[in-house]
Amino acid sequence: MNFLFKFFIKNNINSKRTIWISIMALIPVIFAAVILLLKPLFSDEGVTVSSLFPQVSVFLYIHFLLPLTAIFMGTAVIGDEVDGRTLPYLLTRPIPRRTIVLSKLISGAALTGLIFLISLLVTYIIMKQENGLHGLIQDADIYLGTIGIIFLGMVVYLSLFCFMGGLLKRPVLIGLFFTFGWESTVSFLPGNIKYFTISHYLHILAKRLYDSQFTNTDPKRALLNLLFRSKEISSEAAILILLAVACVFVFLSASLLYIKEYRLEKS
């Protein structure tokens, strides 16, 4: 497992996908830098750059970059070896098939997690620099909490898309539809249907983390929730549900390699 983990990390580092993910991880950094440059335009209205950090974290990282990178990384867990026709080298070794899936998943999560860790750190420093070093350290829990949510979300999305990648013929397309079609639409609907999305639970965790800074920014949603009496679950319950979803899809992905045959033709 240890060797396979290192092998797949190296594999991932050498893939174009990782370069693209790294480039995409620059988007929030550039966005933060632009906000900083435009600061004089809105400083009169009492809005600080620092106060926008939760919005940047939630909308750019949690709702956009996290699922998008997970689609490309997750569908590649089995899909890469199938498309690259290197699967026979793995399947004809005395290694349990679940170990192959787990090693690839963990290496994917570790590498993407590291990219996000750095990207978010730079964004955090740029946006919170007005409070000085003392402020940066004081708000470190916000940074650590955000990276925790991102990492948890990464594990859940990766396991889901890993399963899709092993099962479906066009997993990226279906993944994109799931994330930016289903999840985006449903999260704005009142009622309980949003409980069938991953983003909802991540949103709950983010809301609790940013507390007063964030909940007040979305009065329409608060009103809708009030009207339709949609109950919000606790952070602990959200974490448990996300972990359970991850476990189910890791299990299903590993089982897939035991059940499904991959008939690889010459390229």
Partner 1 sequence: MNIEAKNLSKWYGQVVGVNNLEFTIQSGVTGFLGPNGAGKTTLLRLLTGQLKPSKGNLLINGNPVWNNYQVLQNVGYCPELDNFWDYLTGFEFVRATLCMHGFSLSEADIKAEEAIHVMNMEKFQNKKIGSYSKGMRQRIKMAQAIAHNPPLLFLDEPLNGMDPLGRRSTIDLIKEFGEQDKTVIVSSHVLHEVEEMTDTILLVNHGRLLAEGNIYEIRELIDNHPLQVTIISNKVNILTSKLLEFEDVKSVQLNREENQITIETLSPEKFHKRLPELALDNNIKIKSLWSPDENLESVFDYLVR
Contact between 88 and partner 1 per CB under 8 A = yes
Q: Does 251 bind partner 1 (CB under 8 A)?
A: no
Coil, strand or helix: which one is 180? helix
Tokens 């590993």 belong to which residue?
254
- Is position 3 an interface residue for partner 1 (rule: CB under 8 A)? yes
11 touching partner 1, by CB under 8 A: yes
Q: Binder to partner 1 among 40, 44, 46, 92 (CB under 8 A)?
A: 92
* Residues 145, 147, 151: CA angle, nearest 5 degrees: 115
Nearer to partner 1, 97 or 208 (CB): 97
Question: Whole-angstrom Cα distance, residue 6 to residue 111?
Answer: 11
Cα separations in angstroms, 186 against 189, 193, 200, 230: 5, 7, 9, 13
CB-side neighbour CA atoms (13 Å) of 40: 1
Q: Using the 8-state DSSP alphabet, how is residue 265 labeled? A: P
Cβ distance to partner 1 smaller for residue 39 or 260: 260
**Contact characters 57-86, partner 1, x per CB under 8 A:** ---------------------------xxx
Amino acid present at 62 = I
| Residues 206-245, mask of contacts with partner 1 (x by CB under 8 A) | ----------------------------------------
Question: Does the footprint of partner 1 cover residue 138 (CB under 8 A)?
Answer: no
CA distance 212 to 266: 58
- Residue 256 binds partner 1, judged by CB under 8 A: no
Residue 93 CB, nearest distance to partner 1 (Å)?
A: 4
Distance CA 127, CA 56 (A): 10
Report the interface residues with partner 1, using CB under 8 A.
Answer: 3-4, 7, 11, 14, 84-86, 88-97, 258, 261-264, 266-267
